[in-house]
Amino acid sequence: MTATDPKLTQKKSAAKAALSHIEDGMILGVGTGSTVNCLIELLPKVRLKGAVASSQVTEDKLKALGIEIYDLNQLGVLDLYIDGADEIDAKGNMIKGGGGALTREKIVAAASNRFICMVDDSKIVNTLGKFPVAIEVLPQARSYVARELVAMGGDPVYREGFVTDYGNVILDTYDLDITDAAKMEFTLNNIVGVVCHGIFASQSADLMLKAGSTGVDTVVF
């Protein structure tokens, strides 16, 4: 992606719009990905008390800016979590996890009062599922979980050479029927060996900052 890439420009616009939702003295939940990287670059403009990072990559970037990192276990509920998404529907349900940070992202999102999702308009879908669902699996359960996914009509692809922050592996799964995101989230949660997966229906977005060619729209769910 080049500096003049229109998608990058849109990601930067969404990130700039997100800044106005951050209050002085906050401990902010910070997501992972190229859109969040645009936000991280802008964080020196606000007065955070600190941050909870959703991945090691994000943590390293925040530390490099001198932002204090908090362990979620030291804190109560966070006011705000800001992240991107791979797909988002009209109800704020999302597919996340393209970057493989889905489990930590879901934990920080679950521990936060509000989730603001920053997207460029290519991420908007009617029904989730064109983007594969990243399913984080305990290494020993990989083949078993893959067979279960195939039995459900899915097409799991092992993300070779990738290990999550928690030492697990990822099955990027195509062709799941996600017409009911909450139902599929629940079904996948119940497969033994699945640690977490990238359907965010229980942890859906509360607000979306959608960047397009004409500016950034705010959508409240």
Q: Is 161 annotated as a binding residue?
A: no
Residue 40: CB atoms within 10 A of its CB come to 20
Instruction: Kindly tell me which residue out of 29, 100, 132, 154 binds ligand 5RP, with binding defined by CB under 6 A.
Output: 100
Q: From CA 48, how far away is CA 165, in angstroms rounded?
A: 25
- The residue range among 27-35, 57-65, 143-151, 170-178 that interacts with ligand 5RP, by the rule CB under 6 A, is 27-35
Q: Which of 28, 39, 67, 84 binds ligand 5RP (CB under 6 A)?
A: 84
Residue 34 is assigned to a ligand binding site = yes
Which residue in the set 15, 17, 43, 101 belongs to the binding site for ligand 5RP (CB under 6 A)?
A: 101
**What's the closest the beta carbon of residue 28 comes to ligand 5RP, in angstroms?**
15
**Who's near 177: CB < 8 A, 6+ residues apart?**
129, 153, 184
Residue 105 bears catalytic tag:
yes
- C-alpha 197/C-alpha 73 separation (Å) is 22
| Active-site entry in 23, 41, 87, 105 | 105
- The 10 Å Cβ neighbour count of residue 111 is 17
83 is in an annotated binding site: yes
Q: How many residues are there in the chain?
A: 221
Report d(CA 67, CA 63) in Å as an integer.
Answer: 5
Minimum CB separation from ligand 5RP for residue 83, in Å? 5
User: Does residue 92 belong to the site contacting ligand 5RP (CB under 6 A)?
Assistant: no
- Among residues 106, 95, 178, 189, which one has the least CA distance to residue 148? 189
What is the per-residue burial (b if ≥16 Cβ within 10 Å, else e) of 178-189?
Answer: beebeebbebbe
Is 34 a binder of ligand 5RP (CB under 6 A)?
yes
Please report, in range form, the residues annotated as the binding site for substrate. 32-35, 83-86, 96-99, 123
Catalogue the active-site residues: 105
- Contacting positions for ligand 5RP (CB under 6 A): 31-35, 83-86, 96-102, 105
Please report, in range form, the residues annotated as the binding site. 32-35, 83-86, 96-99, 123
